[in-house]
Structure 1
């Protein structure tokens, strides 16, 4: 949906709360983990937080890897057995677990996503795709699209009961997009192979260069590296306007050591592009206004599982 066709005439207003947004950096890199250098995504996240309107309630999170800390656990694909087995919010894991520690639950991200009117995701392109951490996050968000809000009806995780529920008339009343109506924006960036790509478009290290034609790469528009998570949002009732789905080339032709967060100052066109994306995000969210019943949605996003 384009910004011009969003269909919002007057923003919803509330005297009780400010507009709420959640900004998430999705690079794997963290200052205190293996690389010892912070990511560009984290730097851009903080830049965005500083440029959003005063008076908004701006939440932000870096889901990068931290040595010795929990990671986002993998999705178990419950939905493939039965849609009713995929519980909203995910009950395959729970907060503060010592056996299966899960960053998504430990950071209360289901509740924070439900609390916000809009989300912004910032991350690099890794091999024509989102980062591992973003992919894990969105795999675990499959339950926002029709997930079962009543695990008590399936004895928490009984597959046969779930299949029976999915076939029943009751299921049509229970299944819904749980975060319907929110806005999501994506800013992804890549280096087009940096200094590793030769003039022929193939990796310099590649010996057998006739094996593939670089003209046959997966897509010509680099932003499509994030198309899977964008369309997951759209199918889940989350609005992603085309103007808020942005890509930038950073560090093209450079060695990786010379393309760090501290080098973003040498990429003025990129920063202009990023700031324009932030401005469009702020304008769109302001125009669209508040999402109703976020407090109820936040209560519904609390864990029903406590695994130790």
Structure 2
């Protein structure tokens, strides 16, 4: 087996540092009347941190797992059950076609920006076009990360780089109650991706890249591309077991393959082509089927015009509105062909000579 390299992570927090971070949650003077209670809660949280109580509620894995006696997090088990049910519905030919529309902007009018995003407006245009074809739409507005109370997409911890089987499907890194890493939106988002027959991402460009809420979600979807559906096979997060499994031969299952996709990227100065290519390359790698050139759109809105008038620029740009509409229509058409089996006949699945 390969060596497991150590020496990067610092020591755990000292008691005083932990207390400072914990009490920062209760900075508001309105909490001062409850300081004694907060102190008691802090002691409980400190004990959980010291003992590493990541999953306080567990159940035996049971039949179907490599280690039926392993204690699985009940939260992970519940997420896995919802994903499995969504996948079963997705595979039924007589269910309505369902599209997931991902609004990638971090901006909305419920917090500091004070205004809706152009991505949201374009998402609504796409939604109307899809619904006109009979497609059911689920809008995933990632800007809610910036405006909803304690809603998080925690960062990917990079387990896949240690060994692919250490990356579980769905992700088992969160919640981690010992570290206070809770309220992870991905538990719901995995199910919504699984339920979709088609995905349309509508996003702006931030500094030549995808906005951070979108990138967080993308990174956390790595478990859908090669992830291990059995955490008991690696004893939870035991790197040595995961490395042994991968070296013995791993099939890198593509859990979301076979869905159609489209991408609409917009910007105001630079970076739209690179961002669009990156998103399309990622979805291609995941085994998604692109809906054609019409559904791979990148456009400038209000090129080099003031930010303050960007919505007016979109009002005037009837062409980009129509192009977004046509991207959605193309996605609907390809998804119909995909579900009917017509597209697979043209693009038969082939064995990958270098799976990863």
Residues 182 and 288 of structure 1, relative CA distance in 2, 3 Å threshold: same
Q: Corresponding residue for 1:306?
A: none
Name the SS of the counterpart of 2:289 in structure 1: coil
Looking at structure 1, the residues matched to 165 and 92 of structure 2 have their Cα atoms a distance apart, in angstroms, of 35
Measure how far apart 1:14 and its partner are: 5.8
Q: Which residue, out of 323, 326, 332, partners 1:273? A: 323
Q: Does the CA contact (< 8 Å) of 1:34 and 1:67 recur in 2?
A: no
Looking at structure 1, the residues matched to 328 and 264 of structure 2 have their Cα atoms a distance apart, in angstroms, of 9
Measure how far apart 1:15 and its partner are: 6.0
Q: Corresponding residue for 2:166?
A: 85
- Greater C-alpha radius of gyration: 2
Higher relative contact order (CA 8 A, sep 6+): 1
Q: Which residue, out of 184, 191, 194, partners 2:268? A: 191
Q: Does the CA contact (< 8 Å) of 2:259 and 2:335 recur in 1?
A: no
Structure 1 segments unaligned to the other structure (5+ residues)? 1-11, 194-218, 292-308
Residues 16 and 158 of structure 1, relative CA distance in 2, 3 Å threshold: same
Residues 240 and 102 of structure 1, relative CA distance in 2, 3 Å threshold: farther
Normalising to structure 1: TM-score of the pair? 0.74
Q: Does the CA contact (< 8 Å) of 2:99 and 2:199 recur in 1?
A: yes
Q: Which residue, out of 251, 271, 280, partners 2:302? A: 251
Q: Does the CA contact (< 8 Å) of 2:171 and 2:223 recur in 1?
A: yes
Measure how far apart 1:29 and its partner are: 0.4
Q: Deviations over 1:220-265 (max 9, x none)?
A: xx322232232121112112244121111101131101113x6522
When you count helix as a share of all residues, which structure comes out higher?
A: 2
State how many pairs are aligned: 248
Matches within 5 A, 1:153-172: 153-169=233-249, 171-172=250-251
Residues 105 and 185 of structure 1, relative CA distance in 2, 3 Å threshold: same
Measure how far apart 1:26 and its partner are: 0.6
Normalising to structure 2: TM-score of the pair? 0.64
Q: Which residue, out of 137, 140, 143, partners 2:217? A: 137
Measure how far apart 1:99 and its partner are: 2.0
Q: Corresponding residue for 2:114?
A: 36
Q: Corresponding residue for 1:73?
A: 154
Name the SS of the counterpart of 1:234 in structure 2: helix
Structure 2 segments unaligned to the other structure (5+ residues)? 1-89, 342-356
Measure how far apart 1:55 and its partner are: 3.2
